[in-house]
Structure 1
Amino acid sequence: MDFPVTFQIFGKTVLAHPVFETLGIFLGMRFYFYLKRKSTEKLSFNTSAAVLIGATAGALIGSKLIGNLEDPYALFEHFSFKRFWTNNTIVGGLAFGLIGVELAKKIVGHKESTGDLIVYPLILAIIIGRIGCFLTGVHEETYGLPTTSVFGMHLGDEYLRHPVALYEIAFLIILWIFLKRIESKRKYPSGFIFQVFMLSYFTFRFFLDFIKPKVGIIGNLGTIQLVSLSVIIYYIYKIKNTIKFKL
């Protein structure tokens, strides 16, 4: 396979990453609305609208902000709006989307968790997006460090690299199966599946970034790892309280 994979759309050459990212968002949203129609838990219009606006605004701001702060030196020394707008990361989107939802819920006075329903659509959207990351190779900053391991692949340059996008896809498929098994075992309080998803995904991303190119912010830890650590600590606390409530 030759990297990067591109598509001809309206006479222009487009990298696979934005194509699959857009497809992932579209299919993830369709899956979410399908699950929402089937769900017995109904939210009022005001609550649904507030959660949607909070999640969208938070995710948009967070994905751009954290994506650019991965290399703060480049951001501040050679700032350009085009670079700022095109840099994004799912880690920032999830973390700030969570903040946006929690703020929106406080505004409308909704105290119950609203996260479980979005878990599997999120996983589906990320998997599809990561297919695009893999097909783009080294032409966007979603590749791994050079490696001599059996997993190394040529992604568009002379090095064998960790195919980190494939690692993430494999992890998310396993996580999907694991969460389904948790659901089938017993009834947990609303929001528990989302909490396990967030803890699992951010723990995975923390360790995955050790085999990705990054700028060290504190020691050898990059921006994404520092954000991941904050979310991990938050959800360890949340899950501890949820399990205590269950018992």
Structure 2
Amino acid sequence: MLSYPYFDPNMISIGPLHLRWYGMMYVFGVVSGWLMGRYRANKPWNKMTPTKMDDFITWAVVGVVAGGRLGYCMFYNASYYLQKPLKIFAVWEGGMSFHGGLLGVLFACWLFGRFNNMTFTEVGDFVSPLVPPGLFFGRIGNFINAELWGRETDGWWGMVFPGAGPMLRHPSQLYEAALEGVLLFIIVWWYSMKPRPRGCVGAVFLLGYGIFRFTVEFAREPDAHLGFVALNWMSMGQILCLPMIVFGVTYLWWAYRNEKTNPTIPAEFR
């Protein structure tokens, strides 16, 4: 049995003002993505420049927040928010969805490309390796908040989470931080460093995240108000990952079969 470490939710407190760890995890994720994006933008084969990256990070943040909130309302509690639509704007009450945030960022990539003479796949391939560190920090924030805990376990690595009863539970937030954050970053970053058919870097990210999240959901406690939503064992997270896996596999198969698509790194820079 591992002891769950107590965290003061406030990173810094000055009088009535509190800077919370959870909020700072979002800041760390955005800053890490921005810094890595500026580094990648200095490569001569990218259409994305450091200046464009400075602009894009604002688009991405809006996409994450708006998409994440709307995705949560739509995917996880649609009936409640249809009855009380103004509650959609009550972001301080919590409720964000990765899959909704992903859709928001994809829309931001498309819109940003339209304004900056870049295709959707060019922006997506550039951005995809920058996302996993943000996922890592987000899952660490979940762990600090003692939320989104795992299912019961009798393993020595089990933890008793505050508010989750006396049972030992999987620290599934740490599983996700390791797989969706660290391992996915290594895979996508390495893959993006060699010439690939256009759009394949983004497809590898979608496929990798879909597989890792689908797997970890077997150790993560389903949302209490939803439970299992299909076949008496599939969670909403797994349902939402299936299109990512199917699209990732299908696109990679199509792209490598039709390698006429422009490679991510032009021949003169290989």
* Equivalent in the alignment of 1:205: 213
Q: Give 1:173 shift.
A: 1.8
Question: Residue 65 of structure 1 aligns to a residue in which SS?
Answer: helix
* Equivalent in the alignment of 2:177: 169
Letter in 1 for 2:244: V
Q: Is 1:95 aligned with 2:103?
A: yes
CA spacing shift, 1:53–1:180, aligned 2, 3 Å? closer
CA spacing shift, 1:32–1:162, aligned 2, 3 Å? same
1:5-48 residue CA offsets vs partner (Å, 9 max, x unmatched): 43233334454222212222122222212221335322489x87
CA spacing shift, 1:217–1:100, aligned 2, 3 Å? farther
Equivalent pair of 1:25/1:125 in contact (CA under 8 Å):
yes
Q: Is 1:122 aligned with 2:126?
A: no
Q: Is 1:226 aligned with 2:239?
A: yes
* Equivalent in the alignment of 2:268: none
Q: Pick one of 3, 6, 22 that aligns with 2:10.
A: 6
Q: Give 1:204 shift.
A: 1.8
| Separation (CA, whole Å) in 1 of partners of 2:19 and 2:113 | 38
Equivalent pair of 2:129/2:188 in contact (CA under 8 Å):
no
Structure 2 gap ranges (5+)? 261-270
Deviation larger for 16-25 or 83-92: 83-92
Letter in 1 for 2:253: K
Equivalent pair of 2:30/2:57 in contact (CA under 8 Å):
no
1:141-177 residue CA offsets vs partner (Å, 9 max, x unmatched): x222222233311222423221112101221322233
Percentage of identical aligned residues: 22
* Equivalent in the alignment of 1:41: 46
* Equivalent in the alignment of 1:27: 32
Q: How does 1:39-188 map to 2 (within 5 A)?
A: 39-43=44-48, 55-68=60-73, 69-76=75-82, 80=87, 81-83=89-91, 86-102=94-110, 105=113, 110-111=118-119, 112-138=121-147, 142-157=148-163, 158-171=166-179, 172-183=181-192, 187-188=195-196
Question: Residue 8 of structure 1 aligns to a residue in which SS?
Answer: strand
Equivalent pair of 1:152/1:160 in contact (CA under 8 Å):
yes
| Separation (CA, whole Å) in 1 of partners of 2:210 and 2:62 | 20
Letter in 2 for 1:238: Y
Question: Residue 246 of structure 1 aligns to a residue in which SS?
Answer: coil
Deviation larger for 64-73 or 164-173: 64-73
* Equivalent in the alignment of 2:198: 190
* TM-score for both structures, normalised by structure 2: 0.73
Which structure shows the higher helix fraction? 1
CA spacing shift, 1:34–1:71, aligned 2, 3 Å? same
Letter in 2 for 1:120: P
Letter in 2 for 1:60: V
Deviation larger for 103-112 or 159-168: 103-112
Structure 1 gap ranges (5+)? none
Deviation larger for 202-211 or 127-136: 202-211
| Separation (CA, whole Å) in 2 of partners of 1:15 and 1:53 | 22
Equivalent pair of 1:4/1:136 in contact (CA under 8 Å):
no
Equivalent pair of 1:50/1:108 in contact (CA under 8 Å):
no
Deviation larger for 143-152 or 213-222: 213-222
Question: Residue 126 of structure 2 aligns to a residue in which SS?
Answer: helix
| Separation (CA, whole Å) in 2 of partners of 1:8 and 1:109 | 43
Q: Give 1:49 shift.
A: 9.3
